[in-house]
Each structure stands twice: as structure tokens, then as C-alpha cells.
Amino acid sequence: MENKKKAIVYSRCSTDEKKQDVQVQVVELERYCKAYNWQYEIISEYGSGYKGEQPKLKELLERIRKKEFDVLLVYSLDRFSREHPAKVNALLDRIVYQYKCRFIALLDNIDSNNEMSWLVMKNLFTYFAHIYSRNLSEKVKAGIKRKKEKREYSGGRPQKKIDIEKLKRLYEQNKSLRKTADAYNQGLGKRERISYVLVKKTLNNLNEENVTKNSS
């Protein structure tokens, strides 16, 4: 009996998009796998395809390199990546020719087993995906610039509230920025956690304030 093909299903949406979009992708990709009776595993993530902020993609590529899967299935090329076309096409060719893994972009009707779609269509769609994100980024920057000119822009992410006394106490105990951040973050939700960079910035600001007070 022929062994079932093993597929890895990859879905992605940007952090500023609706998260249910990932589920929309997964439903269609699962249906495709079931139609061909493939074994499959699903990996989803939320990150910028334009900036390459896709750690889970990097992990699954390593697994593909190790021959864990026969097929990489995505909903569309812009969900796979929106980086520069030359970079994306080089990666796709490595997946197909070096790793010997079939690549399918369902919505774009691209299949590496179809020579015409692979040689022609993938180049067009990687270009379109990149241009879309580049234009979107430029629109966002232009919008921020206009708001700044009108003094309506309040900055990016809201500033996190930090328990200064707790932070100072933990730093005195640990004498390490990273250990202080780890100790501070214990039991906190994702949105409340702070990085060691923010610990450093906060402590530096406190030191500057103390110097100013002592010199006045």
C-alpha cells in the first residue's frame, strides 16, 4: 500500500488583520488535504510577511529540510511571504528543488508539480504580494506624517504601566536586566510583561531624575 503523503499546512495573517482570517485559510486547506487523503499538520502565526517576522515559518522550513513533509500547502503566496520577490522566489526554489518538497498556493492555483504555474505564476504573485505590502506601508507612514503635522498623532503602542518600586527591588536582588525582567514578568499576562530593554530604559530614567534632584 502506498504511504500517505504528509503535508504541512501554513497559514498567516498580519498583526493588524483580523485573526479569524487564519481560520478561514485553515478550513480551505484542511478540505484540500482531506480530498487527497493526505496526513497533515497545521501551523499558524501572526506576523508581518513584509518584514519577515515569521518565526514559525522558519521552524517549519527546517522540518521540511529534514524531509518530515512531502507537501507545503498555503492559502496564497501573500500569506506565505510578502518579502522582496527575489528573496521569496529563491526560498521557494530551495524548498522545491533542494528539499524536494512540493509547494501549493491554493488560491493562486500555483503548484510546483505544474511547470507552467511554477515558472510563470509564482513570479507574478510574489511580485504582487510585495508591492501590495510596500504600498500599504507607505500609506500608513503617510497617514502618520499627516497626523503629526496636525498634532493628532499620539504615538505607537500605549506606554506600559510599570510598578517602579517592584522593579527597583527586583533589580537590587538580581543585579541583571534580563533576570529582573524575568522576575518582574512572573505571573503577568502577555500585555503586561516588559522587556529587559524597557527595564534598562526605566532604570536609566530614574537615575537621571535622581541626579537632577541632587544637583538642584
Per-residue model confidence as pLDDT tens for the chain (216 residues): 457 899 999 998 875 555 557 888 999 999 999 999 999 999 998 866 556 668 899 999 999 999 999 999 999 888 888 788 888 888 999 999 999 999 999 988 889 999 887 887 777 767 666 665 554 444 444 444 555 555 554 444 555 678 888 888 999 998 898 899 899 988 887 778 888 888 888 888 777 666 455 554
Extract the C-alpha cell encoding 44.
499558524
Q: Find the helix packing angle between 122-149 and 85-93, rounded to 10°.
A: 140
Q: Determine contact, residues 12/44, Cβ cutoff 8 Å.
A: yes
- Give backbone dihedrals phi and psi of 8, rounded to 5 degrees, phi first: -110, 120
Alpha-carbon span 24 to 30, nearest angstrom: 10
Q: Determine contact, residues 124/105, Cβ cutoff 8 Å.
A: no
Contacts of 123 (CB under 8 A, 6+ apart): 85, 89
Alpha-carbon span 115 to 110, nearest angstrom: 9
- Give backbone dihedrals phi and psi of 149, rounded to 5 degrees, phi first: -65, -35
Extract the C-alpha cell encoding 70.
512531502
Global confidence as pTM? 0.58
Alpha-carbon span 81 to 63, nearest angstrom: 18
